[in-house]
Amino acid sequence: MNKTELKQFLDEKVIQYNHPNFIESDPIQVPHLFSLKQDIEIAGFLTATIAWGNRRMIIKNAHKMMDLMGNSPFDFVMNHKKEHLNTIDNFVHRTFNSDDFSYFITALNHIYKNYNGLETIFQNSATKNSLQPAIHQFKNVFFEINHLKRTEKHISDPLKGSAAKRINMFLRWMVRNDVTGVDFGIWKHLSPAQLSCPLDVHSGNVARKLGLLKRKQNDAKALAELDSNLRKMDKLDPVKYDFALFGLGVFEKF
């Protein structure tokens, strides 16, 4: 395919997969349980944090997280007492355990009380064309209170070479308004043009087959390469192609 044909092909795949039916089989269904902005943010952030491995297990455990928070994540974050954290003692998703979950709740409380919420931190550290420096700063803020060193691994840092797939996915959910009702678009001070594609095994493999990515590792350098090529096709909403790459990889075994 030449560049024009490739763009047309991917645009068609975006229309196919950036559709409300996508929600049913994707972890994004969990924040879709809520209507309050802060509930959506917290549910989305926690769900994205554990979004690696088997998709059914991700969805199951993300729903369990919401249940453990009384299906009112913002209220739980802001008003929990120390003894309430005992209810999450048995939670585990792969290497994310109850100690990590407990700290995430504590850190979110700190952020909403002292930084006016998640969006403000990313907004204040964003550059014109990227949120990757903002992810780095967010991680600094998130771990500025006392914590177990092991918990730091659950938030990636692009400035240390990570593609930061999960937090880029979370940012896509919050920032991008796709009008079809999949992504939320509830963060109004950031632009879809600043987003980066959630790069994982599936999207990376498809991108390489389509000539959008040459680098073999799925790291920060690969993400920059992929972002550059996606922006050539749509500089205002490059991350819409995540739906095409993911759909081709997961559903079509492209």
Q: What does pTM read for this prediction?
A: 0.96
Give the whole-angstrom CA distance, residue 196 versus residue 2.
24
Summarised one tens digit per residue, pLDDT across range 56-83 is 999 999 999 999 999 999 999 999 988 8
Distance, CA of 73 to CA of 60 (rounded, Å): 16
pLDDT in tens, 177-220: 998 999 999 999 999 999 999 999 999 999 999 999 999 999 99
Structure tokens at 160: 């240390």
Share of the chain above pLDDT 70, in %: 100
C-beta of residue 203 within 8 angstroms of C-beta of residue 245: yes
The predicted pLDDT at position 148 comes to 94
Output the CA–CA distances (angstroms, integers) from residue 130 to 10, 168, 227, in the order listed. 22, 11, 10
**Which of helix, strand or coil describes residue 66?**
helix
Quote the CA–CA distance of 93 and 131 in Å, as a whole number: 27
Query: Residue 87 has what pLDDT?
Result: 84
Element (H, E) at 6: helix 3-17
